[in-house]
Amino acid sequence: MRTPHLSRRALLSAAGAAGSGLLLSGCDAFGLLEGSDSVVRSTLERANDLTYRVQRLLLGADRLAPEFAESDIRQGQRPNGVTSPADQDYQDLLAGDFADWRLEVGGLVERPLSLSRDQLLAMPSRTQITRHDCVEGWSTIAKWTGVPLALVLDLAMVKPQARFVVFHCMDTIERSLSGQFRYYGSIDMIDARHPQTILAYGLNGRPLPVENGAPLRVRVERQLGYKMPKYLQRIELTDSFAGLGFGKGGYWEDRGYDWFAGI
Amino acid sequence: MVARDVIDGAAASAPRTLVYRQSAWTRATHWIWAASLFFLLLSGLQIFNAHPTLYIGDQSGFEFDNSVLSIGAQKADTSVVGVTKALGLTFDTTGLLGVSGERAEHRAFPAWATIPSYRDLGTGRVVHFFFAWVLVATLGVWLVAGILNGHLRRDLVPRLSDMRALPRDLADHLKLKFHHTREYNTLQKLAYAGILFVLLPLMIATGLAMSPGANALMPWLPELLGGRQTARTIHFVAMLLLVGFFVIHMLMIVAAGPINEMRSIVTGWYRIDRREPMTGG
């Protein structure tokens, strides 16, 4: 009985710590949750680390997300977030049908790349019918076509010390007093090398529309929608999030969303 | 069975018998569940508010209609009203669902019913998943302890004799006639077993069926539940059933004698009816 007893005690103290913090906080009973530096919040956030570790333990690196049939595509892919970037540089590229657009791949790589859309289209592609799960709770099924990210990473010859793939985007998602923020996000090397992780340029058999991220977006099918940035400009291989945004690995992560969104 | 007689009050007319009814495992897990379900409910409503529509199937219909419940706001002549649509029926729920608060905020569930009170999906998820782990771990501990100390077999699994006693038990409950015994009555066994063996596991299963990671690991799970969006709908309905159970649970405690009932789940000791035959144990 030793083990259950210990785990019960650990549970009691964790729940107690969380509970007492919540009770102490006064007028807005849950005000202590506000701000990512709160002690209560960071205690609770450790459950996300547990989720990450358990999923990485149980879920094989190549285990596929469910794929669907053509008949399951019953509607257009609902866009979310920025659907029409107002940024001038993006508008100029769009006006030229992205002929001048390049995907830069840099950071911890032996061979930095600058790929045109034609070069990406000439690479081997993968087409998959998958379900997009938004963090808000809705889901839609669509067919995605693109280059497996692993092929691009191999071409760039990723250095062994790289731990994360960071996606830098062309869309400004927030204009506020604290500044202008362009969307960015990151995933680990396991998700990056997953067979269904593609740099998508096609949606439902047509070129990727602007509202869904033209000219190129990421699909990471074992993750929620906010882990799949649109309007890609640059891919950076790194071993740390320091110096990127507020240091949490993504635009939404900087604003309190969990970095590992596999649930 | 452990029992002890105590002299109750100065009159000492009727000695009352206290029996040890709830083990420390039962009491501790009960209160951890109570706390976790409280936080899970309120953070769950915060998460639901991010997209307050439920659907049947694997995807949400935006260009076709497969919704079964939606909570929203609509413009009326001079103001905005809260509109709740359920199974084709439309209700005005201004003040509670759709539109609530002093500033007539557009939100599905009102601020007092969500954690945090303000709109914050990220934090709602942090709270929800923390207590989901607490709930799962506690259920695991309870299951192991309950098997080892016989609580499951002795107290929870309904026997044939229980089922035979069901009509009489039902009638007694309707007449608010309560028997205080060491054992749970049939309706208690069915209710507790239903929560612990059916509803909470269903809650966990439907929760996992909404996880893209868990879907890759167990693609059969959302399929078995009728698709990811059906799983989300079942998750919501199971929440309503748990809230319903909580309400009845509270009413029963009040009706059966709140001090005795609370003492048993706090200290383990329960006062039984003296004339009740001492069966089992």
CA atoms within 13 A on the CB side of A101: 26
Nearest CA to A12 among B35, B50, B165, B144?
Answer: B35
Would you state the pLDDT for residue A24?
A: 36
Would you state the pLDDT for residue B20?
A: 93
Measured in angstroms, the CA of A80 and the nearest CA of chain B are apart by 12
Share of residues in chain A with pLDDT > 90 (%): 81
Would you state the pLDDT for residue B76?
A: 86
Would you state the pLDDT for residue B274?
A: 74
Report residues of chain A scoring pLDDT below 50.
1-29
Chain A residue at shortest CA distance from B120 = A256
Would you state the pLDDT for residue A17?
A: 42
Chain A residue at shortest CA distance from B231 = A137
Residue A139 pairs in a beta bridge with: A133
A207 upstream amide cis, omega within 30 of 0: no
On whether the CB atoms of residues A133 and A154 are closer than 8 A, the answer is no
Q: Which residues contact B13 (CB under 8 A, 6 or more apart)?
A: none
Predicted structure pTM score: 0.89
Structure tokens at A145: 């076509």
Would you state the pLDDT for residue A262?
A: 82
Mean pLDDT, 10 residues at a time, chain B of 281 residues? 44 68 95 97 98 98 97 91 94 96 94 96 96 97 96 92 93 91 93 96 98 96 98 98 97 94 95 66 42
Q: Which residue has the tokens 């997953």?
A: A194
Q: How far is CA B40 from the centre of its chain?
A: 10
Residues in B 88-147 with any Cβ partner in A closer than 8 A: 115-117, 120-123, 125-127, 129-130, 132-134, 137-138, 141, 144-145
Query: How big is the A-B interface in CB pairs under 8 Å?
Result: 160
Q: What is the pLDDT of residues B75-90, one digit of tens each?
A: 988 889 999 999 989 9
Comparing CB atoms, the residue among B35, B138, B212 nearest residue A222 is B212
What's the ipTM?
A: 0.88
Q: What is the pLDDT of residues B135-156, one digit of tens each?
A: 999 999 999 999 999 999 999 9
* CB-CB neighbors (< 8 A) of A8 in chain B: 25, 28-29, 138, 141
Chain B residue at shortest CA distance from A262 = B213
Q: How many CB atoms lie within 10 A of CB A70?
A: 10
Q: What is the pLDDT of residues A18-73, one digit of tens each?
A: 444 343 333 344 555 655 568 899 999 999 999 999 999 999 889 999 999 999 99
